[in-house]
A = this chain, B = another copy of it.
Amino acid sequence: MFEVVTVKEALHRIINSVIDMDNEMEEVNILQALNRITGEKIVSSEVVPHFSRSTMDGFAVRAEDTFGASESMPAFLDIKGEINMGEEPGEDLKAGETMKIATGGMLPPGADSVLMLEHAEELDEKMLACHQPVAPGENVILEGEDLKEGEGVLEKNHRIRSQDIGALAAAGITRVKVLAPPRVAVISTGDELVSPGEKPKPGQIRDVNSFALAAAIQSAGAFPILCGIVRDEKSLLREAVEGVREEASLILISGGSSVGTRDVTAKVIDELGDPGVLVHGISIRPGKPTIYGMARKTPIFGLSGNPVSALVTFDIFVAPLIYRLRGLEREEIIPSRVKARVSRNIPSSQGREDYVRVKLEKEESGEYKAVPVFGKSGLITTLVDARGVICISQNKEGLEEGEEVEVILY
C-alpha cells in the first residue's frame, strides 16, 4: 500500500505533520536557561545602559571644544578632576572643561564624547592639550544604545545562547519563561531482548536501542522516557503505546526488523487514530524500513531494531522533528561538519541516499581523509569507530577516491 519515498519527501511529511504544537512553559533562572527555547518574547523594562559610558581610557569632553585641534595647534581644556568608576560625576562639564575618565566610567552631564589618552597631553594638573578632534558620541556608549525601555531582548521561540544570557543579565532579567522540553518515549520491541543489566541466554541479546536512543534524544535537547522492552505482539505494543501517549510528545518504537514485526508497528499506529501511517519505507540506506505516522496528535516513529540503522535515521528524521517540537521555528540546527577527501572508491546505488560511516585521518597538509568503516551494518562497533558520516546523494553512483565530501561529525 505504501510506496518508498525519497528522504526529502519523508522529511516534508514528518515536519508538516506537527504544525500546531502547544508546549508547556516553565520559568527558570538564567543560569539554567542555556539551550532552552524562549516561550514568549522577552522585553526589557529598563534602558541599557542607563547612562552614557566611556569605552576608552581618556578625557570626557564636549566634542565642539575639540573641533580643529591638531598636533601643531592643540585645543586647551581645563581639567576638572577625575570621574570615579561606578560613581556619578560630581559636577556638570561646562564649555572648555574636561574630566579624566576610565573605560566604563559615567559621562558627566554636558560631555558628549571621550578623547583617547593617546591624543591628550596633560600639561599640568589643571591643563590638557588636545591633539585631535573627536566627534559627538565618539568612544561612548550612549544611554539606551544597547536596549531601550520596552525593546525586545529575545524573540519568542529563540534558542538561548551564552550571549543571550548576558543580555538578560544586562537588563536585570534573572528568570525567564522557557518551553518545556519535549518528552520522547522509547519502546524497544523484540522477543530476543533482555535489559543490559541481565545476562542474555542463548538466542537473547541485550537491548541496545533504548539506551542509544535515550542518549540521542538528550543530544537533540529532549527528555527521554524509557518504556522498557515489549514482546513482539500487537496487543502488547498497543498497550505500551497507549500507556505512554498522554505523557509523551513523541514515541519511538524500535525493533521489528523482520517483516512480521514491522507490520505490527504500522498496524498499531493505524489503529490508534487518524491519520495513521504517513511514511512506510524511505529510499535510504541504512534505514529503508523506517515508519512514521500520527496517531491523532501523537507522532510515532517505527525505527529499525538494528542500532546502526536506528541511530543514522534518528539523526536524519527524528532529530529535526524534535527541534520542531522544542519550539525551534525559525532556526535551522546545522550539525558540525568538515571537508575531507575519500580514501577509496565507495560504490552506491542510484535512487537512494547512502550514509557511509567514516573515520577521519588528518594529513600532513592539514586536510582530512575520510576512511570508510567496514563491517556489517548490524555491528554497533562500526558506529563507535566512526567519527562521522558522509551522504551519497540518490543521483550518484558512488564516490571516487580523492573526491571531496562533507563529513557530518558525531
Q: Which residues of B contact A345 (CB under 8 A)?
A: none
Q: Does A146 contact B (CB under 8 A)?
A: yes
Q: Which residues of B contact A1 (CB under 8 A)?
A: none
Report A148 CB to chain B, min CB distance, Å: 10
Number of copies: 2
Further contacts, 20 of them, CB under 8 A, given A50-B202, A105-B203: A31-B215, A34-B219, A51-B203, A85-B190, A85-B192, A88-B201, A88-B203, A102-B260, A103-B305, A153-B384, A154-B384, A162-B215, A163-B383, A165-B215, A167-B208, A167-B384, A174-B196, A334-B409, A336-B337, A337-B337
Q: Which residues of B contact A337 (CB under 8 A)?
A: 334, 336-337
- Given B35, B102, B172, which contacts A199 in the complex, CB threshold below 8 Å? B172
Q: Which residues of B contact A192 (CB under 8 A)?
A: 85-86, 104-106
In the complex where A88-B202, A162-B216, A169-B208 touch, is A141 in contact with B383 (Cβ < 8 A)? no
Does A410 lie within 8 Å of B163, measured CB to CB?
yes
* Bound Cα distance A203, B54 (Å): 11
Does A166 lie within 8 Å of B212, measured CB to CB?
yes
Q: Mark A252-288, 1 if CB is under 8 A from B, else 0.
A: 0000011111000000000000000000000000000
Report A152 CB to chain B, min CB distance, Å: 10
12 interchain pairs, CB-CB under 8 A: A31-B214, A34-B219, A86-B203, A162-B216, A162-B410, A166-B307, A166-B311, A169-B196, A169-B211, A170-B196, A172-B196, A336-B337
Q: Does A353 contact B (CB under 8 A)?
A: no
Most buried by B among A51, A86, A338: A86
* Bound Cα distance A258, B100 (Å): 12
Q: Which residues of B contact A105 (CB under 8 A)?
A: 192, 203
Does A161 lie within 8 Å of B410, measured CB to CB?
yes
* Bound Cα distance A338, B172 (Å): 34
Q: Which residue of B lies closest to A84 (CB)?
A: B191
Q: Does A57 contact B (CB under 8 A)?
A: yes
* Contact residues of A between 303 and 357, Cβ < 8 Å to B: 305-308, 311, 314, 334-338
- Given B34, B173, B334, which contacts A336 in the complex, CB threshold below 8 Å? B334
* Bound Cα distance A103, B53 (Å): 70
Q: Does A73 contact B (CB under 8 A)?
A: no
Q: Which residues of B contact A375 (CB under 8 A)?
A: 145
Report A27 CB to chain B, min CB distance, Å: 15
Q: Does A251 contact B (CB under 8 A)?
A: no
- Given B169, B172, B214, which contacts A212 in the complex, CB threshold below 8 Å? B169
Report A66 CB to chain B, min CB distance, Å: 20
Q: Does A3 contact B (CB under 8 A)?
A: no
Q: Which residues of B contact A306 (CB under 8 A)?
A: 55
Does B376 lie within 8 Å of A200, measured CB to CB?
no
Does B57 lie within 8 Å of A259, measured CB to CB?
yes
* Contact residues of A between 59 and 85, Cβ < 8 Å to B: 84-85
* Bound Cα distance A105, B260 (Å): 13
Q: Does A232 contact B (CB under 8 A)?
A: yes
Q: Does A381 contact B (CB under 8 A)?
A: yes
* Bound Cα distance A383, B163 (Å): 6
* Bound Cα distance A379, B147 (Å): 9
* Bound Cα distance A31, B205 (Å): 19
